[in-house]
Structure 1
Amino acid sequence: MTHTITVIRGDGIGPEIMDATLLVLEAMNLGLVYEEADAGLVALEKHGELLPQATIDSIGKNRVALKSPLTTPVGGGFSSINVELRRRFDLYANVRPATSFPNTRSRFAEGVDLITVRENTEGAYSAEGQETAADGSSATSITRTTRKGSERIVRYAFELARRTGRKKVTVVHKANILKSTSGLFLNVAREVAAQYPDIECNEMIVDNTCMQLVMRPEQFDVIVTTNLFGDIISDLCAGLVGGLGLAPGANIGADAAIFEAVHGSAPDIAGKGIANPCALLLGAAQMLDHLGMPDKATRLREAIVATLAARDSLTPDLGGEGNTMAFAKAIASRAA
């Protein structure tokens, strides 16, 4: 079956890591068809808007997109193009794996293999009721948590654990203090967890979670939490395994999914050909899982691991002297 993928090359190093990623995917002979669309600064320059309707239409039609980092200008418009895409397509589940890799600048060269499942559409990032007093003396923002949003993200986490053979889901909250919003999330999580007796469930307050992740990350399997906590925790987890250059992300909804590198557009190194494409490649592996090609996704991940282990053409951030395309070719040769 042929799948058409909306490809967003993005800003800064985005086009370079997308070229590298598509080179590897083409070497794997997956039968994918790519439809290019613009977003971010390049879209603003070409079309006069950060997120053109043509891009929205392409994602809606194809239902799957692979996206490089985007830059949201300071000032008017969206608070974040990424947040706007999640809102437009109701991409309620943000899925961020963190896995130990060989030959990385990490405190945990082995033992970390966890997934953070973050609610992606509610909470502190919904931008409801944001208001600043006229004299600048105070500011207010509404944080809204719903039963529907809590139930579907917790159920997604348990279904993910069951589907991938994982044994435990940790529900992360702050219900001891935020008794209304975080309390609702925790209560709903308990109700959902009771429907999955085959999956161990434990609860952990968010500050303790951060401490435990730094001390003993191997105790975690799947973490599920709310929007703001998930944003912080998933970046912490990336730091455990070598940084955002090895951190992919999937944004999943009922009708569409967007896969991405979660790092920024790094304009300071754009055009130098030294960007690490691993995060976007790992996002592409998540995409292959989503498209029903888990064997191909595994092959891609194994090729990345083998290339890191061999220190073959590694980019400077990984301690090597290679460039983006040489690194990609080394991975492609193992994934083909």
Structure 2
Amino acid sequence: MVYQHIRLPAGGEKIGIRDGKLHVPREPVIGYAEGDGIGPDIMRACLRVWDAAVAKAYGRSRRIHWCELFLGEKAAALYGNAFPDEAVDALKDLVVSIKGPLTTPVGGGMRSINVALRQTLDLYACVRPVRHFPGVPSPLLRPEAVDVVIFRENTEDVYAGIEYSAGSPEAFQLEQFLKQTLKADFREGSALGVKPVSEFGSKRLIRKAIRYALEHRRRSVTLVHKGNIMKFTEGAFRNWGYELARTEFPEQTLSEEDLINLHAGKPPEGKIVIKDRIADIMFQQMLLRPKEFDVIATLNLNGDYLSDAVAAEVGGVGIAPGGNIGDFIAVFEATHGSAPKYAGQDKANPGSLLFSGAMLLEYLGWHEAAETVKNAYGAVVGRKIVTYDFARQMEGAKEVRTSEFADALIAVMA
């Protein structure tokens, strides 16, 4: 493929798909986009750390060849478009990529690039692992009890973008249809949005969550929904989840009801429990009884709130990783904003992007390198060597710059 601004590295081999599986060469080409604001600062630091982790884990037998892609402000300067087709083509071509934070205007302006990426590439699962690292400041008394992986549906629900501003011709037309044809009752002149939730979209997300739980020997998958109120959208998500587990994973799963009634609350060896919780109750239970939850599958808006709230329990979104994953194509990302007021100051916490890179390494099957990143992080933070955001919350901390934090991680790996 010929690109206008993207330059493929001279070495390396593209990741392929063979026999329905990802084929990862020993020297894969991986795409990266720096992002906006603090993106370049944290990306520079993380690229060094990931390379050091791969070298530590595998010596010279494996290596990543990084290929810069352009999204956001950097793309706008090059292409006159913050979301250029060339970047989308490259993300498809390279299969696995990672990006820094991208600025999203509130209440107007360009469409969110993050949402556009997920929908354009059909990256239907936003995967957010949340766990605590010793030494990281937390508001909880026992943050080590939090260890969940959240699967958030990416393409439907209110994020489908089907909404019409109050007073617009489209809103008026939809209002007339709802009132006159369907006899709906709501205030005239309302802004209107549509919340699509499909059986196909729900089941493929829940299927991916169950497979993850089985592959990683997790204990349960919890379907989080507001089906007590939105019975035909969120309630259907819940029902489709149970149906999928019964029909596609009958030997590997059992419902919470069967667990209690047939097994006295003790799951048989090798089986995972499928259960569900109302969304608002789930927020409470993740504070009071986090050990009861393992893998979570939920719709888009619930997942948006829940993943950030749970991340706050273990140190905040500044260290929360995330990946947007389809059947094969995956784009990992920093889950926080671009923090433009700190751009270029070499002071931001690179943790979120760093751990998203660890997720990328795991996606490649390079688990040893991923563990090297995590172990180094735990060792450095355990010595109270941290960036400014953690330093102001920790007594006796040594505050370092972003680049110096990367230096400390790499030194631990040596």
1:88-130 residue CA offsets vs partner (Å, 9 max, x unmatched): 1100011001111122220234221111110111111001243
Answering whether residue 116 of structure 2 is matched by residue 84 of structure 1, we say yes
- Cα distance in 2 for residues equivalent to 1:73 and 1:301: 33
Map of 1:12 onto structure 2 = 37
Question: Which residue identity does 1:130 align to in structure 2?
Answer: Y
- Cα distance in 2 for residues equivalent to 1:73 and 1:112: 32
Decide whether the 8 Å contact of 1:251 with 1:257 is kept in 2: yes
Structure 1 residue 133: Cα displacement: 2.2
- Cα distance in 1 for residues equivalent to 2:334 and 2:382: 21
Answering whether residue 219 of structure 2 is matched by residue 187 of structure 1, we say no
Task: Give the TM-score of the pair, scaled to structure 2.
Answer: 0.78
Task: Give the TM-score of the pair, scaled to structure 1.
Answer: 0.96
Structure 1 residue 73: Cα displacement: 4.1
- Aligned partner of residue 143 in structure 1, secondary structure: coil
Greater shift in the superposed pair: 88-97 or 196-205: 196-205
Question: Which residue identity does 1:17 align to in structure 2?
Answer: I
Choose the corresponding residue for 2:201, options 143, 149, 154: 149
Map of 1:26 onto structure 2 = 51
- Cα distance in 2 for residues equivalent to 1:148 and 1:189: 11
Answering whether residue 359 of structure 2 is matched by residue 334 of structure 1, we say no
Choose the corresponding residue for 2:144, options 97, 110, 121: 110
- Cα distance in 1 for residues equivalent to 2:400 and 2:119: 38
**Structure 1's 305 and 145: CA in aligned 2 closer, same or farther, altered over 3 A?**
same
- Cα distance in 2 for residues equivalent to 1:76 and 1:165: 44
Structure 1 residue 240: Cα displacement: 0.5
Map of 2:352 onto structure 1 = 279
Structure 1 residue 57: Cα displacement: 1.5
Answering whether residue 387 of structure 2 is matched by residue 315 of structure 1, we say yes
Map of 2:69 onto structure 1 = 37
Q: What does 1:231-242 correspond to in 2, within 5 Å? A: 231-242=304-315
Larger strand percent: 1
Decide whether the 8 Å contact of 1:89 with 1:255 is kept in 2: no
Choose the corresponding residue for 1:171, options 193, 202, 223: 223
CA RMSD of aligned residues (A): 1.5
Choose the corresponding residue for 1:119, options 127, 147, 153: 153
Aligned residues: 334
- Cα distance in 1 for residues equivalent to 2:368 and 2:244: 30
- Cα distance in 2 for residues equivalent to 1:248 and 1:129: 29
- Cα distance in 1 for residues equivalent to 2:371 and 2:206: 25
1:242-271 residue CA offsets vs partner (Å, 9 max, x unmatched): 111110101001241001110001111111
Answering whether residue 334 of structure 2 is matched by residue 261 of structure 1, we say yes
Which structure 2 segments of 5+ residues have no match? 1-25, 56-61, 173-187, 254-270, 392-397
Structure 1 residue 24: Cα displacement: 0.5
Map of 2:100 onto structure 1 = 68
Map of 2:91 onto structure 1 = 59
Question: Which residue identity does 1:297 align to in structure 2?
Answer: A
Question: Which residue identity does 1:100 align to in structure 2?
Answer: H
Structure 1 residue 297: Cα displacement: 1.1
- Cα distance in 2 for residues equivalent to 1:125 and 1:73: 15
The runs of at least 4 aligned residues of structure 1 exceeding 6 Å deviation read none
- Cα distance in 2 for residues equivalent to 1:179 and 1:217: 26
Structure 1 residue 183: Cα displacement: 1.6
Which structure 1 segments of 5+ residues have no match? none
